[in-house]
Every structure is written in structure tokens, then in C-alpha cells.
């Protein structure tokens, strides 16, 4: 199988033009076919405020009412997505910016109302991602750049977590490619000492996960990140990396962040 690299970047890269420029250079330099997935929550929050729309969050999750949906669609699918596509074109990477509605690539279901009404938020199922359409774009020599906007197949756009999209796309594409999923965030990877960047754990296998939770090496917000990563691996993804965006250029040298394996 041919290797496919799927990279998810967060706001700490998108919010800083210099960091984004260097990241996109490293992304372009990666060998083989690749897919880029992004959110952009901070810019969406700032844009909402400028338009007089209050951003509503519960436990770090955005409540997407109709006004907020309009803003995140403009920001994610428009401002951020097209800016990144333009920069990638300038670097010689023939990118195409997409929402889940384009080519019916990602179809979601509106999250049901339980204790909290999250509004127009989309949840994904195993059949949500069209690997056929993404594969056709890759075979045409294009680099898909997916934002965090999906659709329900019945005219409704939905706001979907970008980490969830990255995992779902990686799992779907693993039937066609040897899929490697990379989460870029603010830390160098999983750290033995959260205050010391020199203590990166370079490899973690699924059998070691419980032990690392028990001894406190993996704690807090890193637990759900790794849980989701191993879920993806169990569903066919070859490897998941977690590391710092400005070190992406080191991934081919096996010196990037933490690599999670079966």
C-alpha cells in the first residue's frame, strides 16, 4: 500500500501567520499524497465578537446556534481555508479547499439534544467519509484541505470537531492507503515531565497505554487524545503521531513527537 499522511492542525498554528507559513512549507515538503485538516476556533470567536455575536462554550465545546454556524462557515470554509490553499499553491502544492458538502466528502448527523443542546453540531459515523472521492482527488494530484464544516445531505451545514474529522478520514482512507495520522499541537509530544520538553516519549504501543495512565505519564487532556488515537489504530490506521507543528519537518527522520502504534 502507498503511504498517505493526514495532518490536523489547530489554532496555535493558524492564529500566527509566521508559524503557519513555516508549517505549510514543511507540509509541502512531505513526500507522497497528503490531506490537511483544520479548525480555527480562536479566529471564529474573534470574528463573532466583532459582529456582536457572543461565543457560547460549555466544557470547551462550542455551542453552534444559527448565527454561530454562519460565522464558523465563513471563517473555516472561507477565510482560513482559502488562505491556506493560496499559500500552498504559492509553495507548489496543488491544493483544493473543501467542506464536507463538496463532493459529498463528509456527511454527518446533527447531534441529538440530551442534557445540552449543542445546536448545529455534526457527529460522524463509520460511513460518513467518502474514501472514493478523496482517493479520486489524490490520484488527480490534488491535496485536499478539509475544514471543520460538514453537511447532513439534506441542505444543512454542520460544525464538526476537526480532531474527530481527522480520525474518521484516516480510518476511512486506511482501506486504500497505509494511513499515517498526525496531530500537531503546542507540545512536543507525550512528555514524561509535562514541564520538560526534553522528556518526549518517542513511542507508545497500545499495550503500554494503561500503564502510562496509572503512573501519571499520561494525564489530563492527553488521555482522551491518546484514547482516540488508539481507537483509530484499532480500526486500521497504521500509526498516529502527536507533536509540535513547527517540528513537522523532522517526521521523515523519525524524530517528531510521539508515535503511537498497535
For residues 178 and 247, what is the distance between their CA atoms, to the nearest angstrom? 22
Cβ-contact 107, 153 below 8 angstroms? yes
Residue ranges at the known binding site: 40-41, 62, 159
Cell of 192: 514524561
Query: How many Å separate Cα 125 from the centre of its chain?
Result: 16
For residues 226 and 129, what is the distance between their CA atoms, to the nearest angstrom? 22
Strand spans (E) along the chain: 3-9, 34-38, 56-58, 61-63, 95-98, 109-110, 122-123, 143-146, 149-151, 157-159, 178-185, 203-205, 239-244, 258-261
For residues 67 and 211, what is the distance between their CA atoms, to the nearest angstrom? 45
Residue ranges at the known binding site for substrate: 40-41, 62, 159
**Coil, strand, or helix at residue 139?**
helix
Cell of 244: 509540535
- Give 3-state DSSP helix, strand, coil % of the chain, rounded to 5: 40, 25, 35
Amino acid at each position: 500500500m502507498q503511504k498517505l499522511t493526514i495532518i490536523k492542525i489547530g489554532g496555535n498554528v493558524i492564529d500566527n501567520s509566521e508559524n503557519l507559513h513555516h508549517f505549510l512549507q514543511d507540509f509541502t515538503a512531505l513526500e507522497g499524497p497528503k490531506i490537511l485538516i483544520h479548525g480555527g476556533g480562536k479566529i471564529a470567536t474573534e470574528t463573532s465578537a466583532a459582529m456582536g455575536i457572543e461565543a457560547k462554550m460549555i466544557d470547551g465545546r462550542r455551542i453552534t446556534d444559527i448565527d454561530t454556524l454562519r460565522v464558523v462557515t465563513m471563517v473555516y470554509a472561507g477565510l482560513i481555508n482559502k488562505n491556506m490553499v493560496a499559500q500552498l499553491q504559492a509553495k507548489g502544492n496543488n491544493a483544493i479547499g473543501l467542506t464536507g458538502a463538496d463532493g459529498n466528502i463528509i456527511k454527518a448527523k446533527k447531534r441529538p439534544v440530551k442534557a445540552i443542546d449543542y445546536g448545529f453540531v455534526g457527529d460522524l459515523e463509520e460511513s460518513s467519509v467518502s474514501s472514493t472521492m478523496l482517493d479520486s482527488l489524490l490520484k488527480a494530484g490534488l491535496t485536499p484541505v478539509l475544514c471543520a464544516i460538514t453537511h447532513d445531505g439534506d441542505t444543512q451545514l454542520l460544525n464538526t470537531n476537526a480532531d474527530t474529522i481527522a480520525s474518521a478520514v484516516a480510518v476511512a482512507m486506511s482501506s486504500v492507503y497505509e494511513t499515517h495520522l498526525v496531530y500537531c499541537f503546542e507540545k512536543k509530544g507525550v512528555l514524561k515531565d509535562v514541564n520538560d520538553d526534553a522528556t518526549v516519549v518517542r513511542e507508545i504501543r497500545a499495550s503500554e497505554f494503561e500503564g502510562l495512565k496509572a503512573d501519571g505519564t499520561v494525564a489530563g487532556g492527553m488521555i482522551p487524545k491518546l484514547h482516540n488515537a488508539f481507537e483509530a489504530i484499532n480500526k486500521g490506521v497504521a500509526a498516529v503521531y502527536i507533536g509540535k507543528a513547527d517540528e513537522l519537518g523532522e517526521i521523515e527522520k523519525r524524530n517528531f513527537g510521539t508515535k503511537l502504534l498497535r
